[in-house]
Structure 1
């Protein structure tokens, strides 16, 4: 069975506002990868001061974790973003759209106290593995 991703939007509920899908149906999946909340810290332990730099770093960290699993942004089916403050909502949306392009995963954004006060956001994703690992038995 071929893998397919399909955006779902009920006519009986509000439309998605802002570059995401209300639901995503995925058929033909091999397995799922759950990426823990990625934080705005680089390999050396540095945390950028401004929101835009933190958001871009978090997305880079998400992509590094996906790559380690043999996946990429095309495989993401769900994004959950935790923002430390509502004031960053518009920039978060703009950067997410820039990073994801035409991809429309299911999305949740939560305004929450973040573990470290220096962190302005945290992002976790779920990705669908649509092909076996190299060298894996069919």
Structure 2
């Protein structure tokens, strides 16, 4: 599988260092669409803080990817749903760390979550 980031420099605003405008995937045999995943512990309880929820969230995403024989290196698209806009910086830092600095197309949306204690939810698309 080959991943080709696309960041045109003309006709569109510039991407920042932590994301790309588009990711072309060539030669993938499988696609995995991961539902919105929250920062919940195995007992279903949310982490007490945003930092804890972000840590749990990425632990959960890694487990889901592993169940399909994939890792975070297979992520080609990511959408974050934040309960509050003030969570954007911490969410971006957690994403950059989880992806080891690899930039992928990403969107962050401020939305009311189904449960007030759920501070962030992330869905990903992975290819392999």
Larger Rg: 1
Q: TM-score range by the shorter chain?
A: over 0.9
Gaps of 5+ in 1: 130-138
Structure 2 residue aligned with 1:6: 4
> Which aligned runs of 4 or more in structure 1 are off by greater than 4 angstroms?
none
Moved more, 113-122 or 42-51: 42-51
**Aligned mates of 1:18, 1:58 — CA distance in 2:** 23
SS of 1:122's partner is strand
Encode CA deviations 1:29-88: one digit per residue, 9 max, x unaligned. Answer: 102100100011111122111101101111111111000000001100000000000011
**Aligned mates of 1:18, 1:89 — CA distance in 2:** 15
Q: TM-score normalized by structure 2?
A: 0.95
Q: TM-score normalized by structure 1?
A: 0.88
- Work out the number of aligned pairs and report it: 127
Structure 1 residue aligned with 2:84: 85
Structure 2 residue aligned with 1:21: 20
Moved more, 70-79 or 13-22: 13-22
SS of 1:56's partner is helix
Matched, 1:33 2:27: no
Gaps of 5+ in 2: none
Q: CA RMSD in A?
A: 1.0
**Aligned mates of 2:14, 2:66 — CA distance in 1:** 32
